[in-house]
Structure 1
Amino acid sequence: MPALWRGCGRLLARRPWAAQALTAGALMGAGDMIAQQLVERRGLRRHRGRRTLKMMAIGFCFVLPQGPVVGGWYKILDRLIPGSTKVVAVKKMLLDQGAFAPCFLGCFLAVTGAMNGLSAQENWSKIQQDYTDALLTNYCIWPPVQIGNFYFVPLQHRLAVVQCVAIVWNCYLSWKANRM
């Protein structure tokens, strides 16, 4: 395990975009596998491999920018709301969850619908059906994570915290986005 950790650190240092792409794709794929096996109880024989590959592709191509975007977003939040008190952490969380989360979820649902071959009208209907529930679920998970992240975690490690929680979140997003 220590060798794997060092290898990941070297890849991140040498090729940050590649490391972030692999991480985002792997997290989305793992979330989809968990959704299919534990939530939907498909079993290995009924596992939809193409769906997992699509979710990985979304991770590579759509969520990948989330790494740099979220990292940049955290830097902006630190400039806009400097400090490390509890009140500062709450302010950062409110801005994060009020501005970033709603936009990200809408875009994610639209991209997933397009990848699943939905027409523009079908995609819009699915977004209208799923968006509010996904956003409310987001608000049950992410605010406490982000308050802790903004209060206890140094800026350079915040994205790692988000990626750890993302495995559960990606499972939910995969299940939600792929329900037809």
Structure 2
Amino acid sequence: MIPLLRNVLRKSPYLTSVGLYTTLYTGADVCHQLWHFHFIEKTTHQHSTFSLDLGRTARMSFIGFACLGNFNYMWIPFLERLFPGATVRKTLAKVLVDQVIAAPILITAFYVGLRTLERKPDVFAVVREKFVDTYLTGMMFWPAAQTINFYLLPLQYRVIFLGVCSFTWANVMCFMKARAEQKLLESNAGNQQD
């Protein structure tokens, strides 16, 4: 399996990157929908059978492909050119630049991208609602993941490692977005009653 992965990475690193992000974001959305059904809907008896929202899954797949896979395919080599090598100092510089520049861009792209694809009226509503919480939550996850990535892994495996970490992070983002959407719905319902 490992030799096959190396061969695919060597022959087509771009397709590997965007394919991985597309697949992992698709999987993260399916996991979130299953979790929501089993622990929220099923316990409140709203639905008796699980039905996958394919439109939602397709939107997450598109965000994984269009935003994250493409961005990281270019971003990780850029950071390596900016701070070549894997010394402690250069690793910390990469992590810092990643958290200051890439994290805000990707959080915004995720929330705005999904709301745009959902054809919601105010595409920045969830960004305003959840950006700070998402960024602070990410600060508990991404610096450690990126330190491992930049310090221990060869360049050709970094986008793949980030993709695997992104599967976990995509699940976190799904939960945060769902909570923000629920809060926006409750806020709008309260405003309409007034």
TM, length-normalised to structure 1: 0.82
1:26 equivalent to 2:28? Answer: no
Counterpart of 1:112 in structure 2 is 114
Distance of 2:65 and 2:85 partners within structure 1: 33
Q: Which has the larger radius of gyration?
A: 2
Q: Cα distance, 1:171 vs. partner?
A: 1.0
1:76 equivalent to 2:119? Answer: no
The answer to whether the 8 Å contact 1:30/1:171 transfers is: no
Counting matched residue pairs gives 172
- CA 22–76 in structure 1, closer or farther in 2 if over 3 Å, else same: same
1:37-76 maps to which residues of 2 (within 5 A)? 37-38=34-35, 41=38, 45-76=50-81
1:149 equivalent to 2:154? Answer: no
Aligned-partner SS, 1:118: coil
Code of the aligned partner of 1:173: M
Q: Cα distance, 1:39 vs. partner?
A: 5.1
Q: Cα distance, 1:148 vs. partner?
A: 1.9
Q: Cα distance, 1:38 vs. partner?
A: 2.4
The answer to whether the 8 Å contact 2:73/2:159 transfers is: no
Counterpart of 1:93 in structure 2 is 95
Q: Cα distance, 1:46 vs. partner?
A: 3.6
Aligned-partner SS, 1:150: helix
84-93 or 104-113, which deviates more: 84-93
Runs of 5+ consecutive residues of structure 1 not aligned to the other structure: none
TM, length-normalised to structure 2: 0.77
Identity of aligned residues (%): 22
Q: Root-mean-square deviation (CA), in Å?
A: 2.3
The answer to whether the 8 Å contact 1:32/1:175 transfers is: no
